[in-house]
Structure 1
Amino acid sequence: MIKVHASPSHSLFVFSPPLPCHFFMGFVVVVAEDVNDCPIEEVRLTVPITDDRTMPALTFRTWVLGVLSCSILSFVNQFFRFRQNPVSIGSISVQLVILPVGKLMAATLPEKILTVPMTGWSFSLNPGPFNMKEHVLITIFANVGSGGVYALHIVTILKVFYKKEIQPILAVLLILITQMLGYGWAGLFRKYLVDSPYMWWPASLVQVSLFRALHETEQRVKGRLTRLQFFFIALGSCFAYSVIPTYFFPSITALSFICWIWPKSITAHQIGGGVQGLGLLSFGLDWNVVSSFLYSPLAFPAYSIICSLMGAFLALYVAVPILYWSNAFEAKRFSIFSSGTFDESGNRYNVTRILDQKTFTFDQQAYDSYSKVYLSVNFAFTYGMSFATLVASLSHVALFNGRSIWRQMKSSIQDNSGDVHNRIMKNYNSVPQWWFYTVFVVVLPLAIFTCEGFGGKLQLPYWGVLLAIALGIVFTLPIGVITATTNQQPGLNVITELIVGYLYPGRPIANVAFKTYGYVSVVQSIFFLQDLKLGHYMKIPPRSMFLVQMVGTLINNMITFGTAWWLLTTVDNICDVTQLPKGSPWTCPGDNVFYSASIIWGVVGPLRMFGKLGVYAKLNWFFLVGLISPVPIWWLSRKFPQHRWIELIHMPLIFYNAGSFPEVKAVNYWSWGIVGIFFNVYVYRWYRGWWARHNYVLSAALDAGVAFLALLVYFSLQMNGISGPDWWGAEEGDHCPLATCPTDPRIMVDGCPAVS
């Protein structure tokens, strides 16, 4: 039997009896034994199994456009990251803009050969038509530029919240080292997370689909659109519509009807508020609400969406209401949904009262005379879910993926080729392992130096750096497996805070530094591997991928630091929501959560929060719950193998999404879930052909439309002080102001009615 492939966008045809490989009526005929296509259907429907090795990849155009793209996205995304509703300009936007620019360069640049003096190395300014491989590498540059720099949170809270100075050189080194550490051990896991056909990285398929739509010649069938035509129509429609929620009617981003029906009821606002409440019947009519925190739901497999919604539902409508209305942890003293920290009177916790300002460490006597630290019940539950997610990730991967990982380890020893994509990539020189090890060996001593030097500004000793790195290496594989198969990435932020909080308590910056070294190294390693998988699908030479990612990271670090430093030193009261003028966008939601975590884990410490001295000690039971929760699912999946849906019940995902609040709001989840279920359950099941052609293209178009409109509105209108019409719908929020009120009659808060 043979498989006959038309252009990569066409369906698969099967002929018999066997024939030798040849061209037949315009189709490429390939012997079945040589195909061994990917076992994942979404990959088979999206990724071509062809390659043109004559295409130049790392060209002069790649360097010019790649560096420019990385620089622009680094600036723009960091600029928006401090704002209330951060707009993430992804690499998809660059994919669109770069195509005509690349073609223009191909049409106008001379074909002159330039030689680098004293090297003998030469290159052409114009090696031929602008091609897909150049486009992919430029997009990898942009991917690096679109990523955030987590260590900037440390710089922000030091300068803004703790009112401490930090030397720019220390900030630059901290940013660079934490971004590069994970690259040093990414090479260890390539075999398992890139070469394995079962690690399919759903998010990469969006970009693969768009690349094909932009570059492959497609004959339009009468009455149907080509993928490129569909893309531009969807982009234009989204761009035009987005002016409504962005400028004219911001309230449409969170429609919370229960609050409108009972405008004076605290309970109604708590239940119905989509931003600061439980979000019952709340939804938004804005793609940015759908995708800003949770990313495009069109890129998630159906079971991942369903498990995510299950976790959110159990958190918002089962666990949190029971805990709150039973007054567990004195919950009624505080807002039901907040990322802040409180004292026993219901006021914001004044951390300066419990810090020794000379040593910048915890003052036990001041703490005893002031108050314990309290959290909203939702925030407290989030930490319990984080405990469960971490250990559930380990047990789930061991039970469900342990056998396949072991097979992959044996395969790496035997050097088996795997699927068709692995075999094609064997034609290219792989990145030597020593390249990765060299990065690690260079960066490790610098990491220790940043913590031990500069007057101990980061408060973290050398052993803390080494322990954080060890944790990162251990957890990269299980978290990578989950990310590569579900498109969701649990993090090490909470467990790192917990560990260093016990080992080295009372030091807020040491705590967040340890978290950054341990957590971000894993994030960066997985980010690196995801880009390698995109290059794997698009048949990009691995060494070119490695070089582009390294250079892109250096550019990204320098520009994001410069942008952040500029804003932190020029915007009055940036991130301080109590001092900012009404309606100011510079509220820094991520930095506020980061600051709260530094108080909880660093200043007060887990012993006084989650240990025997703390209010929240019972949350430690979630470690046990998380550890054993995958076991019954695994047993049932083996007991009833005919019911394949059982093994799709993914406990780490359920816990992870139950703990995504309060940074992610209820309105984000339900809007995201409705869209995801419609496209990846209903459309995927009943309109498979349409889904295969248009789903990922639509995702890219919607992301790009929102991004372009947000940039246009900000730089043309809002930056010049031109605001939209002044009316009820101009307020950015859900019109549920009472959702933040406590319901304990002993606590009085300005703007909240008295509770009897």
Structure 2
Amino acid sequence: MMGEFEEEREVKMDYFPTKVEEKEVECSIKQVELTVLKTDDPNMPVLTFRMWVLGLAACILLSFINQFMWYRQNPMLITSICAQIAVVPLGHLMARTITTRVFFQGTKWEFTLNPGPFNVKEHVLITIFANAGAGSVYATHILSAVKLFYKRKLSLLPAILIMLTTQLLGFGWAGLFRKYLVEPSEMWWPGNLVQVSIFRALHDHEKRAKGGINRTQGFLIILCCAAAYCVLPTYLFIMTTSFSWLCWIKPKSVLVNQLGSGTQALGIGSFAIDWSTISSYLGSPLASPWFATANVAAGFVIMMYVLMPICYWFDVLKAKSFPIFSQSLFKGDGSVYDIKTIVSSNFELDKAAYASDGPLYLSTFFAMTYGLGFATLSATIVHVLIFNGREIWGQVKGAFGGSEKMDIHMKLMKAYKQVPNWWFHILLVLNIVLTVFTCEYYKESLQLPWWGVLLACALAFFFTLPVGVIQATTNQQPGLNIITEYIIGYLYPGRPVANMLFKVYGYISMTQALNFIMDFKLGHYMKIPPRSMFMAQTVGTVVSVAVYTGTAWWMMESIPHICDKSQLPPDSPWTCSFDRTFYSASVIWGLVGPRRIFGNLGYYSHVNWFFLAGAIAPCLIWLAHKAFPKQNWIRLINMPVLLGATMMMPPASAVNFISWIIVGFLSGYIFFRYRPKLWERYNYILSGGLDAGTAFMTILIFFCLQYVTNISLDWWGNHSDDVMCPLAKCPTAKGIVVDGCPVF
């Protein structure tokens, strides 16, 4: 079979008939050269009736499902790949059944509901609509934190305005930086190649080699196999989501539990054979280039197996008084902090109560994660200036009339009208004005003043380009959430809602901008008219915000005690793990404030040295590269990715990283290097098929066996890691008393 996969094949690409000379088609990025077609048909219909129907339906459905699943203990994000696949038979069905009659024929209003066969460009725009509903609206965490955790009132209108402005604000930054993050071929956005491969698999008319399979058949086989296998880790044998076999050797030993637990500790030897566990936090490892995977692996090993053991067993920052791996907030005696006791009636910090209850402590791993977040921030700025400064400056000069180099994809896109910059500028100004109005008008409940909004926008503007360069080349995105929390926590302490809003406007507007730019790059690869892309993104974003807000509000009002573990039944899925992490961050940075934790009044002031370490780290790599110019691997060390590798931990755990790194090594190094034909043909198809099959079956199992009938299987193989490694969460300091743990 291996030989059959590598056979020459004849592919009829009749939906992109325009061709270019071979000397013009070379791409500087090998993965793009192997994956993206270099042909186009500018006359292909795009804004069709079926595109609107299927696009809006996909956007609404994915928005509802993702918000519905978000409050579960194990939330699952349904990506746009599911919609990308599901709409294909529907598109072909509509093309065959809808009338081809031409309305208002002979006038300027002439149109038809069925312009011909369902084509790839319609399919791409439908996927762009689906992308708007495929993520999550980060601002829903604010609604959950205020209403469900702090137990405060929040009316619907300001909630809608917050959700809308946080999602649309990023369009302004996207418009300002698209020239530098979309047009250059070096900004290749690796994650887009998965969807490009799926589009080709679903639309290429590829002749099947005798005894072999074509791309479409391979994709469908992978999808069906992934869906069938998903029953095992999701329902029949849950332990496959984390094999922590080391705990089985000595289950009553705290040390062995701490070494072996894949979800609560170091996870030595743990692994998962469940795709959702592998891809849930870092995305698909099949889409990550090997050098980025290697940087993540190095960062994980240094943090988890070097720094953490040293800090914990030498009791740095009172490490042994708390669990080795936890996102909870603690008192000095190791007990969990009761936050409600330190919140005043006006929703600010009760300083007297805080002084009485004592200072707030973090697990050492949690504190170190924040430290690495500080380092990642400074490393991102320095890295981009040192390694990408010349290219960015060249692009800036090109923007003002200088010469610029265009690859074949940019040349083909010149056939279409571009989106004028003033469209983005107007949208940006309107959103900033609306945001300021919302925060000022509802200042009593939202707490954030007008200057806080402008400062958050300034931070997003400053970091969009350097963070975008990192993501466009490594498929990893260093986050701004920590620095936004840090700044407003110092400037405006004791106000948790203001802190959450500042984080969302400063961090999510940048993230949204990069999502929009990533979609622009997908349209760039697939040769979609830019104005049609802009329309699909704006309409899809507005529709998804309405559905997300409505779904979240309905669930918070209709599900009794949602997110409240103390009042929910033991087997309830509505425990809101991500919202709980967001709430903890609002306490650390907003209510208590960084000065009382990382400043002169706190226990973790030494963590601020990570800012300096992060700034120095890229300089050391640059010096090493200059000293050993023939060692090209040195330049591939990306300190922002390496330092920020573990920023998703918690809630991500060791087993997620270990399994992700193993699969990434097999794909990005072994197969890409030694079986390039096999990698080219099936790597991204495999990624998309695993995503789609797992998502479809997870939804089916949830609604058929859990949500409606609540049928579950109780046997040894369905025990979670918490049961198999019960002592992994125990502190080991002398005299600390915790239920279910031995006292040392």
TM-score range, shorter chain: over 0.9
1:613 Cα deviation from its structure 2 partner: 1.0
CA distance in 1, matches of 2:109, 2:603: 66
> 1:65 is aligned with what amino acid?
L
1:411 Cα deviation from its structure 2 partner: 2.3
Aligned match of 1:611 in 578, 599, 606?
599
Q: Which residue in the other structure is 2:54 paired with? A: 65
Q: Which residue in the other structure is 1:381 paired with? A: 368
SS at match of 2:111: strand
Q: Which residue in the other structure is 1:405 paired with? A: 392
Moved more, 660-669 or 574-583: 574-583
Q: Which residue in the other structure is 2:32 paired with? A: 43
Q: Which residue in the other structure is 1:682 paired with? A: 670
SS at match of 2:206: coil
> 2:683 is aligned with what amino acid?
N
CA distance in 2, matches of 1:494, 1:578: 29
1:692 Cα deviation from its structure 2 partner: 0.4
Say whether the 8 Å CA contact 1:381–1:659 is kept in structure 2: no
Say whether the 8 Å CA contact 2:281–2:648 is kept in structure 1: no
Moved more, 719-728 or 250-259: 719-728
SS at match of 2:302: helix
**CA 1:484 to 1:509, structure 2 compared with 1: closer, same or farther past 3 Å?**
same
CA distance in 2, matches of 1:173, 1:11: 53
Deviations 1:16-37 (A, max 9, x none): xxxxxxx9xx99984455x152
Q: Which residue in the other structure is 2:194 paired with? A: 206
Q: How does 1:460-539 map to 2 (within 5 A)?
A: 460-539=448-527
SS at match of 1:282: coil
TM-score under structure 2 normalisation? 0.96
Say whether the 8 Å CA contact 2:244–2:721 is kept in structure 1: no
Say whether the 8 Å CA contact 1:177–1:447 is kept in structure 2: yes
Q: Which residue in the other structure is 1:440 paired with? A: 428
2:259 equivalent to 1:281? no
Q: Which residue in the other structure is 2:282 paired with? A: 294
1:416 Cα deviation from its structure 2 partner: 3.4
1:595 Cα deviation from its structure 2 partner: 0.7
Q: Which residue in the other structure is 1:577 paired with? A: 565
Q: How does 1:153-232 map to 2 (within 5 A)?
A: 153-232=141-220
CA distance in 2, matches of 1:313, 1:578: 36
**CA 1:115 to 1:448, structure 2 compared with 1: closer, same or farther past 3 Å?**
farther
> 2:48 is aligned with what amino acid?
T
2:329 equivalent to 1:324? no
CA distance in 1, matches of 2:338, 2:451: 31
Q: Which residue in the other structure is 2:68 paired with? A: 79
Deviations 1:635-689 (A, max 9, x none): 2223322221111111111111133211111000011111110011101111000
Q: Which residue in the other structure is 1:309 paired with? A: 297
Q: Which residue in the other structure is 2:380 paired with? A: 393
SS at match of 2:446: coil
> 1:654 is aligned with what amino acid?
L
Aligned match of 2:721 in 730, 733, 756?
733
Aligned match of 2:43 in 54, 57, 60?
54
2:705 equivalent to 1:713? no
1:182 Cα deviation from its structure 2 partner: 1.0
SS at match of 1:278: coil
Count of residue correspondences: 731
2:74 equivalent to 1:98? no
2:409 equivalent to 1:421? yes
> 2:192 is aligned with what amino acid?
S
Q: Which residue in the other structure is 2:4 paired with? A: none
> 2:212 is aligned with what amino acid?
R
2:77 equivalent to 1:125? no
Deviations 1:97-141 (A, max 9, x none): 11110000000000123469xx96443110100000000000000
Say whether the 8 Å CA contact 1:343–1:372 is kept in structure 2: yes
CA distance in 2, matches of 1:439, 1:352: 40
**CA 1:10 to 1:712, structure 2 compared with 1: closer, same or farther past 3 Å?**
same
Say whether the 8 Å CA contact 2:490–2:594 is kept in structure 1: yes
Q: Which residue in the other structure is 1:568 paired with? A: 556
CA distance in 2, matches of 1:722, 1:366: 43
Q: Which residue in the other structure is 1:111 paired with? A: 100
2:735 equivalent to 1:750? no
Moved more, 537-546 or 414-423: 414-423
**CA 1:120 to 1:482, structure 2 compared with 1: closer, same or farther past 3 Å?**
same
1:433 Cα deviation from its structure 2 partner: 0.3
1:343 Cα deviation from its structure 2 partner: 1.2
Say whether the 8 Å CA contact 1:66–1:137 is kept in structure 2: yes
1:212 Cα deviation from its structure 2 partner: 0.4
TM-score under structure 1 normalisation? 0.94
Q: Which residue in the other structure is 2:3 paired with? A: none
2:358 equivalent to 1:367? no
Deviations 1:383-436 (A, max 9, x none): 000000001000001111111111112222236351000000000000000110
Q: Which residue in the other structure is 1:550 paired with? A: 538
1:51 Cα deviation from its structure 2 partner: 0.2
Q: Which residue in the other structure is 2:629 paired with? A: 641
CA distance in 1, matches of 2:518, 2:457: 20
**CA 1:385 to 1:59, structure 2 compared with 1: closer, same or farther past 3 Å?**
same
CA distance in 2, matches of 1:478, 1:739: 39
> 1:640 is aligned with what amino acid?
F
CA distance in 2, matches of 1:151, 1:566: 16
Moved more, 711-720 or 388-397: 711-720
Moved more, 634-643 or 45-54: 634-643
> 2:682 is aligned with what amino acid?
H
CA distance in 2, matches of 1:593, 1:27: 51
CA distance in 2, matches of 1:253, 1:465: 42
CA distance in 2, matches of 1:748, 1:626: 37
1:332 Cα deviation from its structure 2 partner: 1.2
CA distance in 1, matches of 2:625, 2:103: 62
**CA 1:371 to 1:123, structure 2 compared with 1: closer, same or farther past 3 Å?**
farther
**CA 1:56 to 1:644, structure 2 compared with 1: closer, same or farther past 3 Å?**
same
Say whether the 8 Å CA contact 1:60–1:123 is kept in structure 2: no
CA distance in 1, matches of 2:311, 2:111: 66
1:445 Cα deviation from its structure 2 partner: 1.3
Deviations 1:124-172 (A, max 9, x none): 1101000000000000000111011000100001011100010011111
Q: Which residue in the other structure is 1:449 paired with? A: 437
CA distance in 2, matches of 1:313, 1:576: 35
Can you give the 5+ residue segments of structure 2 that lack an aligned partner in the other structure?
1-6
Moved more, 148-157 or 340-349: 340-349
1:360 Cα deviation from its structure 2 partner: 1.2
CA distance in 2, matches of 1:700, 1:10: 24
Say whether the 8 Å CA contact 1:86–1:292 is kept in structure 2: no
CA distance in 2, matches of 1:510, 1:537: 40
> 1:99 is aligned with what amino acid?
V
Deviations 1:250-269 (A, max 9, x none): 12111101111111011111
Moved more, 713-722 or 683-692: 713-722
Deviations 1:224-268 (A, max 9, x none): 211111111111111111101111111211110111111101111
> 1:151 is aligned with what amino acid?
A
Say whether the 8 Å CA contact 1:250–1:733 is kept in structure 2: no
CA distance in 2, matches of 1:470, 1:352: 33
Q: Considering only aligned residues, what root-mean-square deviation do their CA atoms show, in Å? A: 1.8
2:330 equivalent to 1:342? yes
CA distance in 1, matches of 2:26, 2:153: 56
